[in-house]
Chain A
Amino acid sequence: MDILYKVFIDPFLQMGTSPDLLVQTLWDGLVAGVLYALIALGFVLIFKASGVFNFAQGIMVVFAALTLVGLHERGVPAFVALALTIVVMLVLAYGVERLMLRPLVNQSDIILFMATFGLTYFLIGVGQLVFGGNPKVMIASELYLPSGAFEFKALGGFVSLQKIDIAAVVIASVMVGVLAVFFQRTRIGRALRAVADSHQAALSVGISLEQIWVIVWFAAGVVALATGIMWGARSEVSFSLQIIALKALPVLILGGLTSIPGAIVGGLIIGIGEKLGEIYWGPLLGGGIETWFAYVIALGFLVFRPQGLFGEKIIERI
């Protein structure tokens, strides 16, 4: 009985008695969720257009952030460094398409997945060699990102909203909005959707797969850069960040691998759910459950909807 009380009653009581903590938790979860969604977005972009599950998305986040900070360290002005980093991500996209995707074009999914593993190790090594392995500070102020927090008394206590978090949510929303418009309205966006549907059909109407893949990996690279800047500004730029990418997997499960709105909704659900779980149920289990709680949430969903919330139903034709 005691356990039932602890699991099913007490956490909700706590939520009720300190609503300021609840709001804070919800906000923190929202911010985390937005950032997870950004990473998931990178995965979805690449998967939709090339069918590749890009394990290297996480390291691309770190790599992009490192390049930016590293260039600035060497004396390049902030916004020039930003532009240069974007160029680097474009070069990376070309390189990946030419050296990895094209030679492996007909191989099975697991082979391509493995190749992105190789890419991950490669980028880790290059990143460490060129920029050093020590954690770095993101050049947030040089990029005119706000710092400090809005604190206000509300609901009987304190709620603190970091300004950088607000900026992150805003920037992420703008980015998603731009991408959504891009996909729906532009010629290239249409081509991307065509490629996502069927490589062969797209080829037969004259769409160049190689070009599309470069564009999509570049877009994912830019998303990775934005994510890297945001995450880096909130904590620091280090190689441990790439583990965060693994957090995007439950998001992808929930949202389906091919859905952009799914990545966002999934991100928010996972972010908020995880934070709520950690604050209100975590102490029951001794804490630290955020390493696996998100997966359990996702697993629960999967059992009922194996294709995720927004994913395409897998129909097997005989």
Chain B
Amino acid sequence: MLYREAGQYKTSYAADMAVFPILQDRIGLAVILLIAFVVIPLSGNNFMLNSVLIPFLIFALATIGLNLLTGYTGLLSLGTGGFMGVGAYACLKLTTFFPQVNIIVWILASGFFSAAVGVLFGLPSLRIKGFYLAVATLAAQFFLEWCFIRIPWLYNNSTSGAIEVPLRTLFGIPITGPTATPVTRYLIVLAIVVGMTWVASNLVHGRIGRMWMSVRDMDLAAELIGIRLLPAKLLAFAVSSFYCGVAGAMMVFLWYGGAEAEVFAIDQSFLVLFMVIIGGLGTLIGSFFGAALIYILPIGLRAVPAAFGLPIHPAAAEQLTFVIVGALIVVFLVLEPAGLARLWQIGKQKLRVWPFPY
């Protein structure tokens, strides 16, 4: 009853092709944005901001990036961690050389460096497919990890081997460095993520998204409707790596405040891949769901014993989390291989006819 589209007629193709054709969807989106931009900063729980929302948004962006490559174009990549790292280190060098330029500009610009690296390591996709391509991206991942440790120039020769984030401001308000408040950082991350999600949505709904999905579904058929495969795949690598690079830069500059190379290790690649698959391959909203589940669930699990007053050793809680998350992944894949996005879709379908069964 709430979700009926009855009465919403489309009188033009443009209206039919809108990203959110149903009015209730648009209202829902507006509400979410309102909560995100206004309500949450006002309620100001620093823990929530610092440890839950900011990382969730950053991971969601990285997940969107990987989803564009793996979910929409069908190119499995295990180099996400490395590409995120390229963004972070590029941002550091850019702001070191040009400290007067606003850091937000550099965060976004660092994506281009990631994109370039992504294209380079995507070149094998001309000849190599599927699992073998994934291993080529692993080569990228391990090589980049090695670079992050072995090239001191990248981390400004700091003795600790880690990136140290300098203080940067926007209109006089500190946004990076130790004095930046969680609310400030949250708002900037939110703005960037919302903007880039909008761009990703535009891309996948238009001819480029169709091109990528054609390559994914049957690349031979894509060729026969005139799509040139290598440029299409390289574009996917470029855009995907751009998103991961920006996410990496934000991770270091707007969340951790500093980082060691381990942050961009292979574990990160797998983590983001989990998020993509659990959330739903080839969906943007799934990227948010996946990031939420994979990132927030362990936090929740760790908090549960404490909430119930059960005395569990923290190490044991950590290990138990592994067991539960591992089991949940398998259970989840059995129940709904198309991910949370499909569950969401099914839920909306049911909501459309509620309170009637069909």
**B-contacting residues of A (Cβ < 8 Å)?**
53, 99-100, 103-104, 107-111, 114-115, 117-126, 128-129, 133, 246, 249-250, 252-253, 257, 285-289, 291-292, 295-296, 298-299, 302-303, 306-308, 314, 316, 318
> Are B131 and A257 closer than 8 Å at their CB atoms?
yes
Q: Which of B153-161, B233-241, B319-327 contacts A (4 or more CB under 8 A)?
A: B319-327
CA distance A289 to B220 in the complex (A): 38
Q: Is B337 in contact with chain A by the CB < 8 A criterion?
A: yes
> Are A114 and B139 closer than 8 Å at their CB atoms?
no
CA distance A133 to B315 in the complex (A): 9
> Are B138 and A110 closer than 8 Å at their CB atoms?
no
> Are B320 and A119 closer than 8 Å at their CB atoms?
no
CA distance A316 to B130 in the complex (A): 14
Closest to B334 in A: A103
Which chain B residues lie closer than 8 Å to A307 at the CB level? Answer: 132
| Residue in A122, A299, A314 whose beta carbon sits within 8 Å of that of B327 in the complex | A122
Closest to B74 in A: A110
Which chain A residues lie closer than 8 Å to B330 at the CB level? Answer: 99-100, 115, 118-119, 122
Interface set, chain B 326-342, CB cutoff 8 A to A? 326-330, 333-334, 337
Which chain B residues lie closer than 8 Å to A285 at the CB level? Answer: 150
Q: Which 8 A-B pairs have the closest CB atoms?
A: A125-B322, A122-B326, A118-B329, A121-B326, A125-B323, A295-B139, A292-B142, A118-B330
> Are A128 and B322 closer than 8 Å at their CB atoms?
yes
CA distance A100 to B277 in the complex (A): 17
> Are A306 and B337 closer than 8 Å at their CB atoms?
no
Chief secondary structure at chain B's binding surface: helix
> Are A302 and B143 closer than 8 Å at their CB atoms?
no
> Are A249 and B329 closer than 8 Å at their CB atoms?
no
Interface set, chain B 126-163, CB cutoff 8 A to A? 127-132, 135-136, 138-139, 142-143, 145-146, 149-150
CA distance A124 to B324 in the complex (A): 11
Size class of the B contact interface (CB-based, 8 Å)? 35 or more
Known contacts A117-B274, A121-B325, A125-B319; 20 additional CB pairs below 8 A are A107-B333, A109-B130, A115-B330, A115-B333, A118-B329, A120-B326, A121-B326, A121-B329, A122-B327, A124-B319, A125-B322, A129-B323, A285-B150, A287-B150, A291-B145, A292-B145, A295-B138, A295-B139, A296-B139, A299-B139
Closest to A128 in B: B319
B194 to A: closest C-beta gap in Å:
29
Closest to A308 in B: B132
Which chain B residues lie closer than 8 Å to A316 at the CB level? Answer: 220
| Residue in B142, B149, B270, B322 whose beta carbon sits within 8 Å of that of A295 in the complex | B142
CA distance A291 to B149 in the complex (A): 12
> Are A291 and B142 closer than 8 Å at their CB atoms?
yes
Q: Which of B150, B320, B328, B329 has most chain A Cβ within 10 Å?
A: B329
> Are B128 and A107 closer than 8 Å at their CB atoms?
no
| Residue in A107, A118, A123, A296 whose beta carbon sits within 8 Å of that of B328 in the complex | A118
Closest to B136 in A: A299
Which chain B residues lie closer than 8 Å to A99 at the CB level? Answer: 330
> Are B131 and A115 closer than 8 Å at their CB atoms?
no
> Are B139 and A122 closer than 8 Å at their CB atoms?
no
| Residue in A109, A289, A303 whose beta carbon sits within 8 Å of that of B146 in the complex | A289
Which chain B residues lie closer than 8 Å to A123 at the CB level? Answer: 326
Which chain A residues lie closer than 8 Å to B322 at the CB level? Answer: 121-122, 124-125, 128
| Residue in A104, A108, A117 whose beta carbon sits within 8 Å of that of B334 in the complex | A104
> Are A295 and B135 closer than 8 Å at their CB atoms?
yes
| Residue in B128, B143, B266, B320 whose beta carbon sits within 8 Å of that of A296 in the complex | B143
CA distance A246 to B270 in the complex (A): 12
Q: Could you jot down 21 A-B contacts, CB within 8 Å?
A: A100-B334, A104-B334, A109-B131, A110-B281, A115-B330, A118-B328, A119-B326, A122-B330, A123-B326, A124-B322, A125-B321, A125-B323, A128-B322, A129-B323, A246-B266, A292-B145, A292-B146, A295-B139, A299-B124, A302-B124, A306-B127
Closest to A129 in B: B319
Interface set, chain B 185-204, CB cutoff 8 A to A? none
CA distance A114 to B128 in the complex (A): 21
Closest to A116 in B: B330
> Are A114 and B135 closer than 8 Å at their CB atoms?
no
| Residue in A104, A126, A133 whose beta carbon sits within 8 Å of that of B323 in the complex | A126
Q: Is B14 in contact with chain A by the CB < 8 A criterion?
A: no
Which chain B residues lie closer than 8 Å to A289 at the CB level? Answer: 146
CA distance A110 to B326 in the complex (A): 16
Which chain A residues lie closer than 8 Å to B139 at the CB level? Answer: 292, 295-296, 298-299
Q: Is B92 in contact with chain A by the CB < 8 A criterion?
A: no
Closest to B274 in A: A117
B44 to A: closest C-beta gap in Å:
35
Q: Is B68 in contact with chain A by the CB < 8 A criterion?
A: no
A282 to B: closest C-beta gap in Å:
11
CA distance A303 to B273 in the complex (A): 25
Which chain A residues lie closer than 8 Å to B143 at the CB level? Answer: 292, 295-296
> Are B142 and A117 closer than 8 Å at their CB atoms?
no
CA distance A257 to B129 in the complex (A): 13
CA distance A298 to B128 in the complex (A): 12
B226 to A: closest C-beta gap in Å:
17
